[in-house]
């Protein structure tokens, strides 16, 4: 999953771009729900939120390393529950 750093300026550009609705406004800055973020695997070739963020504050969450296979499984799980 990806995460949003303190550099977030609360511009709200990323939130509507997420195909998994993993992004929401937190108490101080926008936040990504790691259980919903597939790094856009299954939807796009590149993380859409990173593409649109004007201050490049969306980065890989090193504390939650995931393989492409795991991300794909997460995607399939999310789609299956819809
Ligand atoms: Fe959503 Fe994709 Fe960004 Fe994850 S990488 S938060 S799935 S837009
Ligand atoms: Fe924050 Fe970047 Fe999302 Fe804007 S696009 S709300 S700066 S994470």
pLDDT of residue 32: 98
CATH code of residue 60: 3.30.70.20
Average pLDDT over residues 45-49: 97
Q: Quote the radius of gyration of the chain (alpha carbons, Å).
A: 12
The predicted model scores a pTM of 0.95
**b or e along 23-49 (b: 16 or more beta carbons within 10 Å of the residue's beta carbon)?**
beeeeeebebeeebbbbbbbeeeebbb
Predicted confidence (pLDDT) per residue in 53-81, tens digit: 999 999 999 998 999 999 999 999 999 85
User: Ligand 2 test: best mutation among 14, 16, 48, most atoms within 8 Å of CB?
Assistant: 14
Q: Is the pLDDT of residue 5 over 90?
A: yes
Number of domain units in the chain: 1
Distance from residue 32's CA to the centre of ligand 1 (Å): 8
Distance from residue 15's CA to the centre of ligand 1 (Å): 9
pLDDT of residue 81: 56
pLDDT > 70 in the chain, percent: 98
pLDDT of residue 43: 97
Q: Is the ipTM above a cut-off of 0.95?
A: yes
Distance from residue 61's CA to the centre of ligand 2 (Å): 16
Phi and psi at residue 35, to the nearest 5° = -75, -15
Instruction: Quote the domain boundaries for residue 23.
Output: 2-80
């Amino acid at each position: 999953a990806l995460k949003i750093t303190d550099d977030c300026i609360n511009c709200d550009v990323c939130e509507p771009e997420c195909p998994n609705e993993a992004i929401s406004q937190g108490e101080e800055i926008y936040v990504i729900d790691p259980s919903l973020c597939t790094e856009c695997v299954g939807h796009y070739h590149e993380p859409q939120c990173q593409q649109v963020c004007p201050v490049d504050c969306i980065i890989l969450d090193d504390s939650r390393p995931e393989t492409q296979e795991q991300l794909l499984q997460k995607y399939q799980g999310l789609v299956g529950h819809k």
